[in-house]
């Protein structure tokens, strides 16, 4: 029987945190990853643009005959999922619902923090989902755009890293949250530094882990072939490989560059 791959897309390299966790849990699956490195970052862009890019990325992956579409990018997940679901009959899974559910299961005080890009925070997607799950939650949100650059520079434990963490996250200490959603693909890479800032007293929700529960129902474990990885980027292969090494702890091979040109564009 033909083996169809799981498709994952992200605005760039950060979604490899989601790729890594899916690869670990499902070693027999083939995975196709698309990082839109030509148009990253999505975080500061308008909702319209992010939806448009997400539609193009989805169209590209659907052409690869995938069986499941994972939206690793929080910013895309926050605004584009309903549009992407209309494009296909295969399951489309984003990171917002898994992250919100995980936060709800962890919080004891009902005081939950969310960090993400400006796009994710302004969309209120996590907040709305959390309140849909439990109206009594008290929610505090903060965009942390500089975290993306820290990770891409590989500055995971420098003086500057700790200062920026303090600047962005002190509000969560003041508000006494007991759970914080790391609502951006890059943030799990800073988990150790964030955990140190909170002295290990705040639950950190990593959607790259939380999403696994939502993928499991669609995976049958009958294949005994070790899964293949295929990576596509829209630009900057060298930078992608460099950061990928850090996130995955291994060399990325099987990398191709694609151009999502005019023919992909949908207004
Ligand atoms: N992948 C994006 C996210 O998870 C972060 C990087 C960007 O702004 O594109 O929201």
Cα of 8 to ligand 1 centre, how many Å? 14
Residue 219 burial (10 A CB sphere; 0-12, 13-18, 19+)? middle
Q: How confident is the model at residue 3 (pLDDT cuts 50, 70, 90)?
A: confident
User: What is the structure's pLDDT at 261?
Assistant: 62
Evaluate whether 117 touches 142 at the Cβ level (below 8 Å).
Answer: no
Residue carrying structure tokens 């564009």: 265
* 42 Cα nearest atom in ligand 1: 9
Tell me if 10 CB under 6 Å of ligand 1: yes
Q: How confident is the model at residue 2 (pLDDT cuts 50, 70, 90)?
A: low
User: What is the structure's pLDDT at 262?
Assistant: 52
Q: How confident is the model at residue 226 (pLDDT cuts 50, 70, 90)?
A: confident
Q: How confident is the model at residue 32 (pLDDT cuts 50, 70, 90)?
A: very high
For atom 6 of ligand 1, the residue with the nearest CA is 41
Cα of 74 to ligand 1 centre, how many Å? 6
Lowest mean pLDDT among 30-39, 128-137, 223-232: 223-232
Q: What's the pTM?
A: 0.95
The whole-angstrom separation of Cα 109 and Cα 29 is 39
The whole-angstrom separation of Cα 74 and Cα 1 is 34
User: What is the structure's pLDDT at 267?
Assistant: 36
| Residue of 179, 219, 37, 43 lying closest to 123 (CA atoms) | 43
Q: Please give the domain boundaries of the chain with CATH numbers for all domains.
A: 6-94+211-266 (3.40.50.1860), 96-207 (3.40.50.1860)
For 192, residues 6+ apart whose C-beta sits below 8 A from its C-beta are 156, 157
Q: How confident is the model at residue 250 (pLDDT cuts 50, 70, 90)?
A: confident
Higher pLDDT, 3 or 205: 205
Cα of 130 to ligand 1 centre, how many Å? 20
Q: How confident is the model at residue 225 (pLDDT cuts 50, 70, 90)?
A: confident
Tell me if 50 CB under 6 Å of ligand 1: no
- The catalytic residues are 73, 184
| Residue 188 pLDDT > 80 | yes
């Amino acid at each position: 029987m033909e083996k169809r791959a799981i498709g994952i897309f992200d605005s760039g390299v950060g979604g490899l945190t989601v790729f890594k966790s899916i690869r670990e849990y499902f070693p027999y699956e083939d995975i196709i990853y698309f990082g839109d490195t030509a148009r990253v970052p999505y975080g500061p862009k308008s909702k319209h643009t992010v939806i448009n890019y997400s539609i193009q990325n989805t169209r590209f992956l659907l052409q690869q005959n995938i069986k499941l579409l994972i939206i690793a990018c929080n910013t895309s997940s926050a605004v584009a999922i309903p549009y992407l679901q209309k494009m296909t009959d295969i399951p489309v899974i984003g990171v917002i619902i898994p992250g919100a559910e995980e936060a709800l299961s962890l919080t004891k005080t009902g005081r939950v923090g969310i960090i993400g890009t400006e796009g994710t925070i302004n969309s209120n997607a996590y907040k709305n989902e959390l309140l849909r799950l439990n109206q009594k939650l008290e929610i505090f949100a903060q965009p942390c755009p500089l975290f993306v650059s820290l990770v891409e520079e590989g500055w995971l434990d420098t003086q500057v890293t700790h200062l920026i963490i303090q600047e962005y996250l002190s509000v969560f200490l003041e508000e006494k949250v007991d759970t914080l959603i790391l609502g951006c693909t890059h943030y799990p890479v800073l988990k150790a530094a964030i955990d140190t800032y909170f002295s290990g007293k705040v639950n950190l929700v990593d959607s790259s882990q939380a999403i696994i529960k939502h993928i499991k129902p669609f995976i049958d474990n009958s294949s005994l072939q070790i899964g293949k990885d295929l990576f596509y980027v829209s630009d900057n292969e060298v930078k992608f490989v460099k950061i990928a090494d850090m996130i995955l702890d291994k060399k990325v091979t099987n990398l191709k560059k694609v151009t999502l040109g005019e023919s992909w564009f949908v207004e």
